[in-house]
Amino acid sequence: MKSKIWLSSPHMGGGEMKFIQQAFDENWISPLGPNVNGFETDLENFLKEGVHVAALMSGTSAIHIALMLLKVKAGDDVICQSLTFSASANPILYMGANPVFIDSEMDTWNLCPAALEEAIVAGISRDKKPKAIIAVSIYGMPYKIEEVRAVAQKYEIPIIEDSAEALGSTYKNRKCGTFGDLSILSFNGNKIITSSGGGALVVKNKKYKDKAVFLSTQAKDEAPHYQHSELGYNYRLSNVCAGIGRGQMEVLDQRIAQRRANHQFYQDIFKDIEGVTVFSEPNEDYFSNFWLTNIIIDPSVSTCNREILRLKLLENDIESRPLWKPLHLQPIFKSSTYFGAKVSETLFNNGLCLPSGSNLSDEDKTRISNCIKSCFEK
């Protein structure tokens, strides 16, 4: 019986157990400890740029803390890319704030700078300037860093860089996760590396990190007893999970190379198939980790479409998924404001995420290739 091929599954490197064993040997079974500190240092050394990292339980919690650090309040507007996973925007609702969704541009599939400025101007005209911009590097592709930054600086609005899917990606040789006023990472089980569950807030000054750790450890005041003057959360990363993350950092460069090799594998498959575009970097300034490889199928040209291919793969126990459904089309956000055209909606209707795990075997790739080619046979 053939085994299931997953879209993106965890891929252990072998070094994780020594850090986990250390946590058990030293009885650091808690949301603090040497592995948490070491994981933060590993990430800081990888990202460079003098950043400070706070290891948290998820990327979502990191966005939540980032919004708190920016003093977002109930009723404020926060701009967010629409073509992203809901975790990018859910913390806006946690704060009682209002998400304002923005369409994508076709080069990177991320935040459209023109629609972004339109939304800001509209907000200012109502005496409601947005308090923050959540800019996402979807599927590992860096957003238009310079164009988005120019708009944000023009109106003095801070950027929360959501690089949950983009660890290891770069723009002009600088790592994603270092471009925002605050940035976030995710180490969920399906990401390029995992700590089981986990995430990180990346900041540019120690004061922000210290405040993030304070808020993520129940906001305990300095006192011999438990005293609280602010609302805190239980968001700090487990020392055991951080041990997994430390082991995964040892193989991060390999995982990036393997994901990029998958992307080339799909380019080779589709190079002679009419009507299919493999999502790739727009120019040499961009370097994507290709966490997931994605295609767009033009139904007016191709004999196949997104759903036919998805179901064909599913018949063969191969997982694929449509692109993220734009958040402005999601029932939970139906009352939210949206700026832009229908780029994200069109991408969703015609796009498919293909199996991209760094642990795909040659046998897996042969199964995938044969299945795809059979779907496009004339």
Tell me whether residue 6 is in a domain: no
Please check whether residues 36 and 78 belong to one and the same domain.
Answer: yes
Q: For residue 86, give the DSSP letter.
A: G
Tell me whether residue 327 is in a domain: yes
- List b or e across 7-23, with b for residues whose CB sees 16 or more CB atoms inside 10 angstroms: bbbbbebeebeebbebb
Please check whether residues 268 and 290 belong to one and the same domain.
Answer: yes
Please check whether residues 54 and 186 belong to one and the same domain.
Answer: yes
DSSP string, 238-295: PHHHHHHHHHHHTTHHHHHHHHHHHHHHHHHHHTTSTTEEE---SSTTEE---SSEEE
- Segment 198-205 mean pLDDT: 97
Please check whether residues 247 and 258 belong to one and the same domain.
Answer: no
Please check whether residues 212 and 264 belong to one and the same domain.
Answer: no
pLDDT digits (tens, 9 = 90+) for 147-179: 999 999 999 999 999 999 999 999 999 999 999
- CATH number of the domain encompassing residue 157: 3.40.640.10
Please check whether residues 54 and 90 belong to one and the same domain.
Answer: yes
How far is residue 162's CA from residue 74's CA, in Å, rounded to a whole number? 21
Tell me whether residue 5 is in a domain: no
Please check whether residues 156 and 74 belong to one and the same domain.
Answer: yes
What average pLDDT does the chain have? 97
Tell me whether residue 4 is in a domain: no
Query: 360: pLDDT confidence band, cut at 50, 70 and 90?
Result: very high
Domain boundary at 251, 268, 294, which?
251
Q: Report helix, strand or coil for 100.
A: strand
pLDDT exceeds cutoff 70 at 1: no
Tell me whether residue 8 is in a domain: no
Please check whether residues 165 and 104 belong to one and the same domain.
Answer: yes
pLDDT score at 128: 97
Please check whether residues 319 and 296 belong to one and the same domain.
Answer: yes
| Full domain range(s) for residue 315 | 253-375
pLDDT digits (tens, 9 = 90+) for 9-48: 999 999 999 999 999 999 999 999 999 999 999 999 999 9
In 95-169, which residue ranges form alpha helices assigned H by DSSP? 113-125, 145-154
Please check whether residues 159 and 134 belong to one and the same domain.
Answer: yes
pLDDT exceeds cutoff 70 at 378: no
Tell me whether residue 11 is in a domain: no
Please check whether residues 190 and 301 belong to one and the same domain.
Answer: no
pLDDT digits (tens, 9 = 90+) for 321-341: 999 999 999 999 999 999 999
Residue 362 CB neighbour total at 10 angstroms: 7
Please check whether residues 233 and 297 belong to one and the same domain.
Answer: no
Q: Please report, for residues 43, 260, 304, 360, the alpha-carbon distance to residue 373 in angstroms, rounded to integers and kept in the order given.
A: 40, 21, 11, 18
Domain boundary at 251, 286, 304, which?
251
Tell me whether residue 7 is in a domain: no
Q: For residue 101, give the DSSP letter.
A: E
Tell me whether residue 295 is in a domain: yes
In 31-138, which residue ranges form alpha helices assigned H by DSSP? 34-47, 59-69, 90-94, 113-125
Hey, what are 25's tokens? 């040997």
Domain boundary at 251, 274, 308, which?
251
The owner of tokens 């018949």 is 315
pLDDT score at 377: 81
pLDDT score at 307: 96
Question: Domains in the chain: how many in total?
Answer: 2
- CATH number of the domain encompassing residue 363: 3.90.1150.10
How far is residue 312's CA from residue 316's CA, in Å, rounded to a whole number? 7
Query: Would the pTM of this model clear 0.75, i.e. be above it?
Result: yes
pLDDT digits (tens, 9 = 90+) for 226-283: 999 999 999 999 999 999 999 999 999 999 999 999 999 999 999 999 999 999 999 9
